[in-house]
Amino acid sequence: MSQSFRGRDFLTLRDFTPEELWHILETALIMKKEPRSSLLKGRTLGMIFCKSSTRTRVSFEAGILHLGGAPLYLNKQDIQLGRGETIADTARVLSRYLDGIMIRTHSHSEVEELGYWSTIPVINGLTDLFHPCQAMADYLTVYEHFGRIKGLKIAFIGDGNNVANSLMLGAAKFGADFVLACPKEYEPSEQVLQWAEEIAAQTGSSIEVVHDPKAAASGAHVLYTDVWTSMGQEAEQEKRIKDFAGYQINGKLLELADHNCIVMHCLPAHRGEEISEDVLEGPKSKVFDEAENRLHVQKAIMALIMQTENPVC
């Protein structure tokens, strides 16, 4: 296991080379075959949650236990961070007690600040801008199905949100062609789009944003979607349902994709909105493989960045 990851933060896929991201996937595949080890025996992961979670909490908690370590759940409302203590102070204090921090929060700047002040590795469990652990689980799922990632067409149908941003960066890093179809005013971050285009130019892939879901789905190897209304956007729900009408992944859209296409969704899903029930539960769906792979990828990330100089294998 490469020592070059030891002590590093995992905040965005942009921070890692394609070779490093492949090493994470390869490590995850090994851990999927051999789930239990002592790689992080005696090490503790603090898990800060500013937003509710099912997959992130359970997969990180189970994952650190599988590696011989221990999780410590820290709800923002139960610690001084929720009463105004600064991120800088929190980071420096937790660094004296723990061996790693996972945080699921709102603003990406909070994760960056936590990483700046912490002397232990910080993992981004979700922010408003990125969801890198989800994207790595998604690309592990794609690789398991196709045996490759480079040259595939990944079509994201829906909001240009944090999941789309991380998938777009991942596509560029792994050499896949990425097309995002969204209504106007729901395009991804211009800065992230620029980064992805720059990386894609180096890896020989392409990045495109369109407003026609049929054009995006045509010939796609992967059809991906996420909820139209994320946590914190509930007041916009009625407007978003109107704006995203026509952007549902359903049987008709699936017919336009490659015959070997797979369908992905990071969950939770709103059946009948961004994806139809028959497609979500159909034979093309890899939704629950993705959910499982969160566990394996995150174990690989923790084992690599939280490892000691002489890990116990």
pLDDT digits 0-9 by tens, 142-166: 999 999 999 999 999 999 999 999 9
In one-letter notation, the amino acid at residue 31 is: M
Residue 249 DSSP code: B
- Annotated catalytic residue 134: yes
* pLDDT > 70: percent of the chain: 99
Confirm if 166 and 189 have CB atoms less than 8 A apart. Answer: no
Q: What are phi and psi of 267, to 5 degrees?
A: 65, 150
Q: How far is CA 260 from CA 142, 150, 156, 205, 229, in A?
A: 12, 16, 17, 20, 29
Q: Exactly one of 23, 131, 265, 296 is catalytic; name it.
A: 131
- Annotated catalytic residue 96: no
Confirm if 136 and 25 have CB atoms less than 8 A apart. Answer: yes
- Quick one: which of 227, 219, 220 has its CA closest to 280? 227
Q: Exactly one of 226, 261, 265, 307 is catalytic; name it.
A: 226
User: Which whole number is the average pLDDT over 37-50?
Assistant: 96
**52 pLDDT band (50/70/90 cuts)?**
confident
Q: What are phi and psi of 128, to 5 degrees?
A: -70, -15
User: For residues 234 and 179, what is the distance between their CA atoms, to the nearest angstrom?
Assistant: 27
* pLDDT > 90: percent of the chain: 91
Bridge-based pairing of strands 177-181 and 207-210 is: parallel
Q: Exactly one of 265, 266, 296, 307 is catalytic; name it.
A: 266
3-state SS track over 30-99: HHHHCCCCCCCCCCEEEEEECCCCCHHHHHHHHHHHHCCCEEEEEEHHHCHHHHCCCHHHHHHHHHHHCC
Would you call 165 helix, strand, or coil by DSSP? Answer: helix
Residue 310 confidence (pLDDT) above 80: no
User: For residues 131 and 165, what is the distance between their CA atoms, to the nearest angstrom?
Assistant: 8
- The per-residue pLDDT for range 58-112, each reduced to its tens digit, is 999 999 999 999 999 999 888 888 788 999 999 999 999 999 999 999 999 999 9
The pLDDT value given to residue 313: 45
Q: Exactly one of 294, 296, 298, 307 is catalytic; name it.
A: 294
The pLDDT value given to residue 311: 58
- Annotated catalytic residue 89: no
- Quick one: which of 298, 280, 288 has its CA closest to 58? 298
Q: For residue 28, what is the enclosing H or E element?
A: helix 18-33
- Annotated catalytic residue 131: yes
In one-letter notation, the amino acid at residue 171 is: A
- The per-residue pLDDT for range 251-271, each reduced to its tens digit, is 999 999 999 999 999 999 999
Q: What angle do CA 136, 161, 270 make, to 5 degrees?
A: 90
Torsion of CA 146, 138, 178, 14, to 10 degrees: -120
Side-chain half-sphere of 21: how many Cα atoms within 13 Å? 27
Q: Exactly one of 104, 108, 221, 296 is catalytic; name it.
A: 104
**15 pLDDT band (50/70/90 cuts)?**
very high
Query: What is the Cα gyration radius of the chain?
Result: 19
- Annotated catalytic residue 50: no
Residues 295, 300, 301, 307, CA torsion sign: positive
Q: Exactly one of 9, 23, 128, 134 is catalytic; name it.
A: 134
- Annotated catalytic residue 294: yes
**Rounded mean pLDDT of the chain?**
96
